[in-house]
């Protein structure tokens, strides 16, 4: 297969982990006889500094003209600490999702045997947890009508039936491929938007008779993820709830640096780690590249190349088993490897195993 990949390194640790994802993809393509062309674009704070726009038109066109986007992270403290800033790096991420029509964010949460004890949760709670959270990505409060003054501010949690139906369909279809259990997360006892979510989901249930569908308020779901994460198979929810719950899910694996994601929809899919730009670690060679590398595995799997994705997952598992890990996993007591060293180890495994 011939790949044309848009690479958006972004801010903070983004450029460092991006290199590792690119190197791994290139190694896999070489191993399996694919060709790949990487083209680079700017996004986030780096794009604001360069052209005043967190998602320039040139970057949008680059994405549209590519098979997939390999994205890293955006964010910079100089914007976080300025509440009056009118343009922010995160607006670039939201614009990318909206303009590419990426309404479905797929975030797998799984455990690694050698890292069970790295989770702050007890072994007997997290061992064997493996579920997918599907987050609606282009609606809700992040995109609804907004107002802000010195005394009043509001964000509108706006959803249409069409938006809800299409993301629920993604959830049902993923459940069919897995253990046929779908949990719809909402706040229907309080929010009108959530009541529409629940109504539409109940109407769609008969289309998927093989799927066991249950409903859970978001506060209960947040608690259930900590008390019994193995309960979940596929979880589907709205934008804001999904943002919070998937970050909570990162503790199950033991490090946010282990979780990749895919954003799919109407146009070019985007593959990225779920973590942020961690600007404090910029240039220190300590950022965990595994989520970025696993997002490459998701990229291959999206295009039906299961063996390629499997090899990457095998290489990541082997690196963890061998103790080739960054400080977020090894801690102060274990031998620590840098971002570049972990990436190079995995590339060598892909080329030789």
Per-residue pLDDT tens listing for the chain (353 residues): 999 999 999 999 999 999 999 999 999 999 999 999 999 999 999 999 999 999 999 999 999 999 999 999 999 988 877 667 788 999 999 899 999 999 999 999 988 888 888 888 899 999 999 999 999 999 999 999 999 999 999 999 999 999 999 999 999 999 999 999 999 999 999 999 999 999 999 999 999 999 999 999 999 999 999 999 999 999 999 999 999 998 888 788 877 788 899 999 999 999 999 888 999 999 999 999 999 999 999 999 999 999 999 999 999 999 999 999 999 888 666 688 999 999 999 999 999 98
pLDDT (0 to 100) of residue 225: 95
Q: What is the pLDDT of residue 234?
A: 98
- Confidence (pLDDT) at 227: 95
Q: Which residues are catalytic?
A: 142, 187, 219, 243, 247
Instruction: Give the separation between CA 4 and CA 284, rounded to whole angstroms.
Output: 30
What is the predicted pLDDT for the residue at 200? Answer: 98
pLDDT the model gives residue 328: 86
- Radius of gyration of the chain from its Cα atoms, rounded to whole angstroms: 20
- Residue 104: its pLDDT value, please? 97
Sign of CA dihedral 68, 176, 244, 153: positive
Assigned token pair, 124: 């007997």
What does the alpha-carbon distance between residue 117 and residue 134 come to, in Å, rounded to a whole number?
A: 26
* CB neighbourhood size of 331 (10 A): 10
168, two tokens: 């629920």
Report d(CA 185, CA 216) in Å as an integer. Answer: 5
Distance CA 108, CA 89 (A): 25
Task: Copy the structure tokens of residue 155.
Answer: 């964000």
pLDDT at residue number 333? 62
- Rounded to two decimals, the pTM is 0.89
């Amino acid at each position: 297969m011939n790949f044309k990949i848009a690479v958006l390194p972004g801010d903070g640790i983004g450029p460092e982990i991006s290199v590792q994802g690119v190197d791994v993809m290139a190694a896999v393509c070489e191993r399996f006889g694919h060709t790949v062309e990487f083209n680079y674009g700017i996004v986030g704070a780096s794009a604001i500094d360069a052209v005043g726009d967190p998602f320039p038109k040139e970057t949008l066109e680059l994405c549209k003209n590519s098979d997939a986007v390999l994205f890293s992270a955006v964010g910079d403290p100089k914007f976080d600490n300025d509440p009056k800033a009118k343009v922010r790096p995160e607006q670039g991420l939201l614009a990318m999702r909206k303009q590419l029509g990426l309404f479905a964010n797929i975030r797998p949460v799984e455990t690694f045997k050698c890292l069970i004890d790295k989770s702050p949760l007890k072994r007997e709670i997290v061992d064997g947890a493996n579920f997918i959270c599907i987050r609606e990505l282009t609606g809700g409060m992040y995109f609804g009508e907004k107002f802000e003054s010195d005394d009043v501010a509001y964000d509108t949690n706006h959803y249409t039936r069409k938006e809800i139906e299409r993301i629920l369909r993604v959830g049902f279809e993923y459940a069919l491929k897995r253990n046929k259990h779908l949990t719809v997360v909402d706040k229907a006892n309080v929010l009108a938007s959530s009541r529409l979510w629940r109504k539409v989901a109940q109407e769609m249930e008969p289309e998927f008779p093989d799927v066991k569908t249950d409903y859970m308020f978001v506060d209960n779901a947040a608690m259930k993820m900590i008390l019994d994460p193995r309960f979940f198979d596929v979880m589907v929810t709205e934008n804001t709830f999904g943002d919070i719950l998937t970050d909570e899910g990162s503790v199950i694996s033991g490090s946010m640096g282990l979780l990749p994601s895919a954003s799919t929809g109407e146009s070019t899919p985007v593959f990225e780690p779920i973590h942020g730009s961690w600007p404090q670690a910029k240039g220190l060679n300590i950022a965990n590249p595994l989520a970025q590398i696993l997002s490459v595995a998701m990229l291959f799997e999206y295009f039906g190349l299961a063996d390629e994705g499997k090899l990457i997952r095998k290489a990541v598992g082997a690196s963890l088993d061998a103790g080739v890990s960054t400080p977020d996993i090894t801690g102060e007591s274990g031998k620590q490897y840098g971002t570049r060293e972990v990436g190079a180890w995995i590339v060598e495994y892909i080329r030789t195993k």
